[in-house]
Amino acid sequence: MAFNIIHEAKRCLNCKKPMCRTGCPINTPIPDMIQTFLGGNINKAGEMLFENNPLSVICSLICNHENQCEGHCVLNHKNMPVHISTIENYISDNYFDKLHFDDIKKNGMRAGIIGGGPAGLTIAIILARRGYDITIFESREKIGGVLRYGIPEFRLPKTIIERYKKLLLSMGIKIRPNTAIGTTITVDDMFRDGYSAIFIGTGVWKPNTLHIKGETLGNVHFAINYLTNPDVYTLGESLNIIGAGNSAMDVARTALRHGCKEVNVFSRSDHLAASEVEVEYAKIDGVNFYVHVEPVEITDEGTVFVELECDGHGNLSPIKGTEKLYPATSTIIAISQGPKDRIVSTTSGLDVNDKGLLVTNTYGETTRDGIFASGDVVRGARTVVEAVNYSKQVADAMDKYMQSTNK
């Protein structure tokens, strides 16, 4: 493996204008990292990656590389881009367990992190390194958020998240599992107890619905709920999935690994929302795809779809008389999700938009002083690397705020 990684790294042209870096949402210093690695300093290369992206070892596995760094590599014109993700993962994984932060000088200020997902982990690591006393409030029994409960094991091994937990604890970060802010404990309670600032990174865990007949039947489920714990679901031998994003691909491939013999994915458009690589993996695994159809009813026997036609301007409309039942023992709805309102409903001064997402400015400041937010709860369901990038800016803003208010 090491020989292959080195061989792949040597293919990097070290471009003066690295388009790979331009294509990366977090602006990873890719050519510099690769050249440092080839120069024999893997630890320095790992440090470069971690300083730029605390979740580098995770993003190297789950990012949409074909549309980001690798998709922008100049060698992609010959359909042979440098496998940057593989190189990044090798270096990041090697460096991660060497991380030690024994010299952190505490500044006496306390910050609360609500949500242990990608945004919360990023904020916690950055602020802890700057001397803040950090507590992560996680509503579930384990940290990770979408990393643990929304991405299948075959894409992201949960052992990586456990390694992050070990790192957090070594940095003095406290974790309160099974603690949902807005129930027994409120944001006001946290301010009462001396938190200088509070970060909300609770993600989006409320499934969007279709509002069609049959959604309450016993053989119907939602993607985000299924991915949280597939083992507790009995889907039967066949499954229809409504929606064709990356979550739908995760559901499809997971279901096949949990005993489903036939899995069908249905999309309104022939342009599938999932990344090309995820679709290819799904097809290899045996998933069937149907496009230009729209669900009209879910039954005990399966899902009824109607065919759609395009008017030539990109607008799709149903074709009367084309309704057809696609048999399946279960149906899973995978059309994204929105935020829950537990915190907003118990906290005064927090504004949300028409989708229930928290309203913030460029720096993640909410409409209530001292409360910040980023990630999916602000921007809706996005990629992990986008959440990390935005959260880096928010961590700086929180640091500046707490320093200014505690003089």
pLDDT per residue over 308-333, tens digit each?
998 877 788 999 999 999 999 999 99
The fold of the 2-96 domain, in CATH, is: Fumarate Reductase Iron-sulfur Protein; Chain B, domain 2 (1.10.1060)
Mean confidence (pLDDT) of the chain: 95
**What is the average pLDDT across 42-62?**
97
Q: Could you tell me the strand order of the sheet in which 371-373 lies?
A: 174-176, 133-137, 110-114, 195-200, 371-373
**What is the average pLDDT across 241-250?**
96
Give the contacts of 7 (CB within 8 A, at least 6 positions apart): none
Q: Tell the burial category of 236 from Cβ atoms under 10 Å away from its Cβ (0-12, 13-18, 19+).
A: middle
Q: What phi and psi, each to the nearest 5 degrees, are found at residue 146?
A: -60, -25
Architecture of domain 110-205+339-405: 3-Layer(bba) Sandwich (3.50)
Tokens, residue 32: 């510099």
pLDDT band for 407, please (50, 70, 90 cuts): low
- Residue 148's nearest CA partner among 204, 225, 228, 221 is 228
Angle 282-285-287 from CA coordinates, rounded to 5°: 60
What residue segments make up the domains of the chain, in order of their start? 2-96, 110-205+339-405, 207-337
CB 169 within 8 A of CB 175: yes
- Who wins on pLDDT, 187 or 340? 187
Q: How many CB atoms lie within 10 A of CB 229?
A: 9
Q: What phi and psi, each to the nearest 5 degrees, are found at residue 263?
A: -130, 130
One-character DSSP codes across 29-70: -HHHHHHHHHTT-HHHHHHHHHHH-TTHHHHHHHS-GGGTHH
Which residue type occupies 239?
Answer: L
The whole-angstrom separation of Cα 375 and Cα 78 is: 35
pTM value is 0.93
Q: How many CB atoms lie within 10 A of CB 347?
A: 19
Q: Which CATH number fits domain 207-337: 3.40.630.30, 3.40.50.300, 3.10.180.10, 3.50.50.60?
A: 3.50.50.60
* pLDDT of the residue at 313: 75
Write out pLDDT tens, residues 376-390: 999 988 899 999 999
* pLDDT of the residue at 1: 47
* pLDDT of the residue at 290: 97
* pLDDT of the residue at 314: 77
Report the run of H or E that residue 377 belongs to, with start and end: helix 376-379
For the ranges 125-134, 211-220, 379-388, the lowest mean pLDDT is seen at: 379-388
The whole-angstrom separation of Cα 262 and Cα 236 is: 10
The whole-angstrom separation of Cα 125 and Cα 138 is: 15
- Residue 361's nearest CA partner among 402, 390, 399 is 390
Q: Tell the burial category of 289 from Cβ atoms under 10 Å away from its Cβ (0-12, 13-18, 19+).
A: middle
Give the contacts of 287 (CB within 8 A, at least 6 positions apart): 249, 252, 253, 256, 263, 264, 265
Partnered with residue 200 across adjacent β-strands are: 114, 373
Half-sphere exposure (CA, 13 Å, Cβ side) for 40?
0
User: Are 2-96 and 207-337 in the same CATH fold?
Assistant: no
Write out pLDDT tens, residues 6-42: 999 999 999 999 999 999 999 999 999 999 999 999 9
Tokens, residue 295: 């669900």
Position 3 pLDDT exceeds 60: no
The whole-angstrom separation of Cα 40 and Cα 34 is: 10
Place of tokens 């020989």: 3
Q: How many CB atoms lie within 10 A of CB 325?
A: 12
CB 202 within 8 A of CB 187: no
Write out pLDDT tens, residues 162-171: 999 999 999 9
Classified as helix, coil or strand, 368 is coil
